[in-house]
């Protein structure tokens, strides 16, 4: 008989790690299943200046590494495996992965989200050849070169500022005439001599044979097309939830996010969701961590009521 | 796994013809790359007799990487007789299973 865990957590980012920490601290048996990178999207950010207490040198990788260690110390188990399908219909939930099948009394979905593509021509062909979604991973390549950043939110501006440590120029291309990022980031960006802005414009096409050479931009007001020579483009225009495998298993909204109540319960008893994958207004490490803690506590309550009567 | 760099890349990868050469392009700041590395080592244990496994730190070999048209991490390239036979760009690598699938085509 394979082991039946109290809680299976799908996804090893801040939501999953916090859920693991809280649940194992309550002496529940917990398995975190992660397909790619423990730490999730947070590992792709160099500066987490808005996570309380992370004042100096607190990179995403450093913070999430500590979260993982902390959960591990309380007894959370971790496995690298990739979910293929799930069966949430019975009292014991079944998660079929590439290597093994796992069973648990409750499941917390913390699969998070991936960066959303910019939607311009040739974007896919030039991924890893100049088109990037991770400044921390790829900034090194662009030392002394010219790059563009697409987007105007917190992520775009944070990463644009980070990129100025490497690139010669960073051109922010934004579809509106004002940034959405918080004021303190805007002030930093406007003061930085390496950062230029192109307003009211979208990227239509990435040009380049084997590597990116330029972007074709379209001014949304005049309709005018122009070409911007760059060696790299970093796209930060939003997220896509990672929920394909849960289609038809739990309720999803029209964008693919999972609606929950305040206790992180999905529409299926015993199945919870936490972090970026959930319908919510603010997707940050701190809100993901909070979700994880709430989900673990709610799952514990569910298990006690359902199985320990 | 053999660490290749600007000094030995020609000899160990480009001019090597005995078997296909797999190169794991990684970097000091690429967490995904570092988390994949132990699993890539396991692939070497499994397939090392048929494929030569190498890793290349792009942080210290930037020009070489760009020369190979690598501008994003992680990237995994299979070379056959010094020519690129298959390239896995970052978007094609969601877990080690994707890498293994590519490697298996060359055994």
State pLDDT tens for residues A104-156.
Answer: 999 999 999 999 999 999 999 999 999 999 998 999 999 999 999 999 999 99
Cα(A214)–Cα(A147) distance, integer angstroms: 10
Q: Does A35 touch chain B (CB under 8 A)?
A: yes
One of A6, A81, A138, A291 is an active-site residue; which one? Answer: A138
- Hey, of A17, A37, A240, which one would you mutate to test binding to chain B, going by the most B CBs within 10 A of its CB? A37
Mean pLDDT per 10-residue run, chain A (309 residues)? 92 98 98 93 86 82 93 97 97 96 98 96 95 93 96 95 96 97 96 98 96 97 97 96 97 97 98 98 95 98 92
Instruction: Locate A96 and state its tokens.
Output: 């079929």
C-alpha distance from B84 to closest chain A C-alpha (Å): 13
The residue of A41, A65, A83, A140 whose CB has the most chain B CBs within 10 angstroms, and thus the best one to mutate to test that interface, is A140
Which residue in this structure is represented by tokens 């760059």?
A230
- Residue closest to B94 by CA, chosen among B45, B39, B21: B39
Distances (CA, A) of A2 to A102, A159, A299, B18: 8, 45, 21, 44
* CB B35 within 8 Å of CB A36: yes
**A215 with A205: CB under 8 angstroms?**
yes
Report the distance separating Cα A156 and Cα A293, nearest Å: 28
Per CB-CB distance under 8 Å, the chain B contacts of A132 are 71-72, 90
- pTM of structure: 0.89
B48 touches chain A (CB under 8 A): no
Q: Return phi, psi of residue A120, to 5°.
A: -105, 160
- In tens, the pLDDT along A10-28 reads 999 999 999 999 999 999 9
pLDDT value at residue A1: 66
CA–CA gap between residue B72 and residue B103 (Å, rounded)? 20
pLDDT for residue A54: 78
A244 touches chain B (CB under 8 A): no
Q: What is the pLDDT of residue A309?
A: 67
Domains A4-114+239-307 and A117-235 share a fold: yes
Max distance between CA atoms of chain A, in angstroms, equals 69
Distance between CA atoms of A261 and A100, rounded to whole angstroms?
31
Quote the tokens at residue A240.
Answer: 């896509």
- Examine the residue annotation and report whether A134 is marked as an active-site residue of this protein: yes
Domain chopping of chain A, boundaries: 4-114+239-307, 117-235
In which band, very low, low, confident or very high, does the pLDDT at B94 lie, cut at 50, 70 and 90?
A: confident
- Minimal C-alpha gap between B73 and chain A (Å): 6
Q: Phi and psi of A284, rounded to 5°?
A: -140, 165
CB spacing of A37 vs B70 below 8 angstroms:
no
**C-beta atoms of B95 and A35 within 8 A:** yes
- Closest CA in chain B for residue A64: B31
* Domain with B74 in it: 2-104
B29, pLDDT greater than 90: no
Q: Do A35 and B94 touch (CB under 8 A)?
A: yes
d(CA A165, CA B86): 33
CATH numeric code, A117-235: 3.50.50.60
Report how many domains make up chain B: 1
Nearest to A141 among B33, B66, B96 (CB): B66
In CATH terms, the superfamily for domain A4-114+239-307 is FAD/NAD(P)-binding domain (3.50.50.60)
CA–CA min distance B88, chain A (Å):
9
Identify the CATH number of the domain in which residue B71 sits. Answer: 3.40.30.10
């Amino acid at each position: 008989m394979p082991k039946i865990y109290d809680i299976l957590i799908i996804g090893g980012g801040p939501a999953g790690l916090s859920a693991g920490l809280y649940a194992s601290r309550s002496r529940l048996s917990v398995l975190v299943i992660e397909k790619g990178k423990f730490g999730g999207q947070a590992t792709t950010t160099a500066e987490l200046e808005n996570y309380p207490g992370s004042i100096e040198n607190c990179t995403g990788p450093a913070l999430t590494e500590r979260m993982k260690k902390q959960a591990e110390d309380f007894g959370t188990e971790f496995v690298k495996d990739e979910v293929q399908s799930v069966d949430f219909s019975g009292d014991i939930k079944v998660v079929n992965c590439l290597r093994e099948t796992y069973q648990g009394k409750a499941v917390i979905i913390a699969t998070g989200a991936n960066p959303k593509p910019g939607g311009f021509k040739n974007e896919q062909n030039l991924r890893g050849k100049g088109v990037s979604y991770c400044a921390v991973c790829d900034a090194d390549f662009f030392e002394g070169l010219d790059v563009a950043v697409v987007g105007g939110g917190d992520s775009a501006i944070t990463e644009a500022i980070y990129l100025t440590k490497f690139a010669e120029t960073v051109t922010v291309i934004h579809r509106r005439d004002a940034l959405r990022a918080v004021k303190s980031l805007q002030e930093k960006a406007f003061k930085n001599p390496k950062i230029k802005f192109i307003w009211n414009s979208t990227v239509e096409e990435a040009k380049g044979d084997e590597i990116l050479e330029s972007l074709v931009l379209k001014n949304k007001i005049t309709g005018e097309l122009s070409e911007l020579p760059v060696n790299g483009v970093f796209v930060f225009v939003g997220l896509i939830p990672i929920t394909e495998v849960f289609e038809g298993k739990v309720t999803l909204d029209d964008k693919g996010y999972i609606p929950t109540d305040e206790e992180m319960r999905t529409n299926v008893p015993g199945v919870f969701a936490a972090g970026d994958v959930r319908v919510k207004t603010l997707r940050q490490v701190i809100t993901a961590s909070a979700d994880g803690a709430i989900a673990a506590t709610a799952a514990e309550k569910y298990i006690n009521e359902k199985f320990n009567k | 796994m053999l660490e290749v760099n600007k000094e030995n890349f020609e000899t160990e990868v480009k001019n090597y013809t005995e078997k296909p050469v797999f190169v794991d392009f990684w970097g000091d700041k690429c967490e995904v790359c570092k988390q994949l590395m132990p699993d890539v080592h396991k692939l070497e244990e499994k397939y090392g007799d048929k494929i030569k496994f190498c890793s290349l730190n792009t942080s210290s070999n930037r020009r070489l990487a760009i020369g190979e048209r690598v501008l994003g991490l992680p990237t995994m390239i299979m070379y056959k007789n010094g020519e690129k036979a298959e390239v896995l760009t970052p978007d094609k690598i969601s877990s080690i299973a994707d890498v293994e699938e590519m490697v298996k085509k060359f055994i």
